[in-house]
Each structure stands twice: as structure tokens, then as C-alpha cells.
Amino acid sequence: ANRPRPLVAGNWKMNGLTKGVTELDAIATGVAAGEAGAAEVLVCPPFTLVSRFAAQAAGQHIKIGAQDCHAKPSGAHTGDISAEMLKDAGATYVIVGHSERRTDHGETDATVKAKAGAALRAGLVAIVCIGETRAERESGKALDVVGSQLAGSLPAGANAANTVIAYEPVWAIGTGLTPTAADVKQVHDFIRARLVEALGEEGNGVRVLYGGSVKPSNAAELMGVDNVDGALVGGASLKAEDFLGIASAY
């Protein structure tokens, strides 16, 4: 079957000041030199850098996204940023439902679904994050949790062009721990089957990223697993050399 173009996405989290422009330049230069192979490369800096990065990335083969958005387009929501504002700033993607948002801000599947719907409304691609905790994995509930998060977070109108799923086991994020390739395959095959159930043939084209302690040394193995269509990278996306080392798995 034709597989979608892989996506390698960097989540800078609450890191990166203006000097990050140097790192972004290094990433763009590496991509232009073919270091990312066939992969589409995306950098999601903090809100404050989105418009600057988008301007800097214009004309380069690199995309800029954000890490969260509000569900509403505008209004009395002090401190929040809407999907429309991100679009206006030059973003083309937005991550929603990252486990740190779910934990730090109490985001539920319903919140995440509303935010993903907002992304689609604004013309952004939504990267919807799901994944089980260590306790859930150890009690054999990983697939149940992932299945119910997917069903609860997938926005209406999702298709292969506007929605990406990121499977990020919470216990693998920022810990240096990763599931085995067999465990990744089991979850990604399961997500693929659920996407096809929900969206029909279109579900085969939705990219399903793996995230959680991806680094240059494990990227080839993790990215080689069936139904893994790229990576969502936290820590290792902050250094151009490491991020490009991951993207070069393609």
C-alpha cells in the first residue's frame, strides 16, 4: 500500500528563546541539504516564537506549528491563544492533547477533541496526542486507554490531510525509556485499525507518529515499525544535529 509521507515533528515545550533562531537555521539548512530524506519536518516552538519562526521558515522546506490552542476562535479567555491566531501567525500545525497538557491543565478527551476541531476550523493540521501511563500499561490496559482516548479526541471532519495522531506512552516521555518495537507495532496496528473503522479507507492515510524518548540512536528501529509514519520528538528536537539525526532515519 502507498504510505503517507512521514512527518518528523519537534516539540520544543517551554524551551527556546530568541536565540533558537540559530538552531532553526541549522535545521532548515540540514533539511535543504537532504539530511531529512523523504520526511516532512515540523518545528513547534513556544507561542512567542511562532510568528518569527514562520517568517524565517518561509521558502524553506520546513513547517512551523504550535503546542496548544484554545477551542474558541476569540473572546474573553485571558492568556489563551486561538487556532485562528496561530494560523494568522504563520503556523500550519498545532499539537493538541499532549500528556503534559492533559496532566498540567486537566485536559480531558472532550477538551482535546474541541481543540482539534478548532484547528481544523482554522485550517491547521491537528496533531492529536494519546498514550497510556505506566500503571495502565502494567495492568494490561494500554490498548483500552489508547482506544478510548482516540475515540474521544478525534475531531469531526478528520481526514488524512488535516489530522495526525501521535502515540506517546506517558512513561516514555522525557524518561529515556521506550517500548519495544513489538509493543509499538501492537499499538500502532491497533490505532490504524480504529482509524479505518472510524474513517474508512481514509484512515489508512492518517499519519500515526510515535513519540517518547526518540533519539538518533533508536530512530531507525522505531521508525521502521509498521504503521509508524514519523516521530514526535521532545528533548532531542532542541538540538539541530540530534533532530536531523532522527529525521535522517527516512
Q: Catalytic residue positions? A: 98, 168
Q: Which of 233, 244, 246, 249 binds ligand PEP (CB under 6 A)?
A: 233
Q: Which of 65, 117, 203, 212 binds ligand PEP (CB under 6 A)?
A: 212
Residue nearest to ligand PEP (CB): 234
> x/- contact string, 172-201, with ligand PEP (CB under 6 A)?
-xx---------------------------
Shortest gap between Cβ of 42 and ligand PEP (angstroms)? Answer: 12
CA gyration radius, the chain: 17
Asked if 234 interacts with ligand PEP (CB under 6 A), we say: yes
Residues in the chain: 250
- Contact yes or no for 93/65 (Cβ under 8 A): yes
95: left (phi over 0), alpha (psi -120 to 50) or beta: beta
Query: Does 97 interact with ligand PEP (rule: CB under 6 A)?
Result: no
- Cβ at position 15, least distance to ligand PEP in Å: 10
Residues 28-87 touching ligand PEP, rule: CB under 6 A, are none
149, 153, 163, 213: which one contacts ligand PEP (CB under 6 A)? Answer: 213
171 is in an annotated binding site: no
Q: Where does this chain touch ligand PEP (CB under 6 A) — which range of 26-34, 131-139, 141-149, 233-241?
A: 233-241
Among 41, 54, 232, 244, binds ligand PEP (CB under 6 A): 232
Residue 211 touching ligand PEP (CB under 6 A) = yes
Among 68, 84, 109, 168, binds ligand PEP (CB under 6 A): 168
Rule CB under 6 A: is residue 111 a binding residue for ligand PEP? no
74 carries a ligand binding annotation? no
| φ/ψ of residue 41, rounded to 5 | -115, 130
Q: Is 235 in the site for ligand PEP (CB under 6 A)?
A: yes
Known binding-site positions for substrate:
11-13, 174, 213, 234-235
Residues that bind ligand PEP (CB under 6 A): 11, 168, 173-174, 211-214, 232-236
